[in-house]
Amino acid sequence: MAEQAQLLRPTDDEARELARSLIRGARYMSLAVLDPATGFPSVSRALTAIDLDGVPVVLVSALSGHTKGLKDDSRCSLLAGEPGKGDPLAHARITVFCEAELVSRDSAAHQRLRARFLRRHSKAQLYVDFPDFRFYRLAPVQASLNGGFGRAYALGAEDLVFPLAADESAWLKIQNELVEKTSEAARFAQRLGLGDKNWRFGLVDPAGIDLISGDVLVRHEFQHRLDLPEDVIHYICK
């Protein structure tokens, strides 16, 4: 699964932060599943969000090829990190090997993920409640980070996913409160040097927060983990 050991650099905090930024900051990723009919690996594009613990989430139709794959075999992988200008291989990207977990429609997890997904992808409102659509959590097993030529790292689930300390509802509450805070979003964006762009806050979790402006999503990783939602308000407004 990983590159040859001698090519890998030791995994340090910088690599971990880059890995989390790539995964948590992606609006969409390439999703590879096993095609049940032929055994071929099948790669397609999926919109992504991130659960509170950092697990990537997709919303898929039962009619689509990738859902049939995930239903039949939970093994899958995601590719995050889009190239900008210049050589595409000079840009950081990460392959994350995951086990897919179907989220039952009548579960609390479904409600939580529905709210988080729509925060990022408001147009998904059009189809999120269609009866054939389901969320899958794609739980990372291990990952291969390529930070550009000669910068390869192997990561484990523990580098990417954190169990939640505070209770979920407190995070949902702060998520909702942050919607209104557009002037705080503007100030925070300015602190990050992002310029004046009509920013709003997107998803928030203990590891970081989204700033969103139209199609642009910027993920900011906190300098250290914030276990309590009120710490996020303090961090943003300090």
Strand partners, 66: none
Pick out residues in 202-221 that bind a second copy (CB under 8 A): 215
Residue 12 beta carbon to a second copy: minimum distance, rounded to whole angstroms: 21
Question: Exposed, middle or buried: residue 39 (CB in 10 Å: 0-12, 13-18, 19+)?
Answer: exposed
Q: Is 34 in the site for a second copy (CB under 8 A)?
A: yes
Q: Which is nearer to a second copy, 144 or 175 (CB)?
A: 144
The site for a second copy, by CB under 8 A, has a size of: 46
Burial code of 71-80, b = ≥16 C-beta within 10 A, e = fewer? Answer: beebbbbbbb
Q: How far is the CB of 54 from a second copy (least distance, A)?
A: 19
Q: Structure tokens of 16? A: 């971990």
Find, among 206, 97, 101, the residue nearest to 154 by Cα. 97
Tokens of 129: 């409640």
Q: Which of 9, 12, 14, 45 binds a second copy (CB under 8 A)?
A: 45
101 binds a second copy (CB under 8 A): no
Q: Work out whether strand 56-61 and strand 208-213 pair parallel, antiparallel, or are unpaired.
A: unpaired
Report the half-sphere exposure of 16 (CA within 13 A, side-chain side). 17
Question: Per-residue contact track with a second copy, 123 to 152, x per CB under 8 A?
Answer: x--------------------x-x------
Q: Which residues bind a second copy (CB under 8 A)?
A: 1-4, 7, 27-28, 30-35, 37-45, 47, 63-65, 75-79, 82-83, 85-89, 93, 95, 97, 121, 123, 144, 146, 215
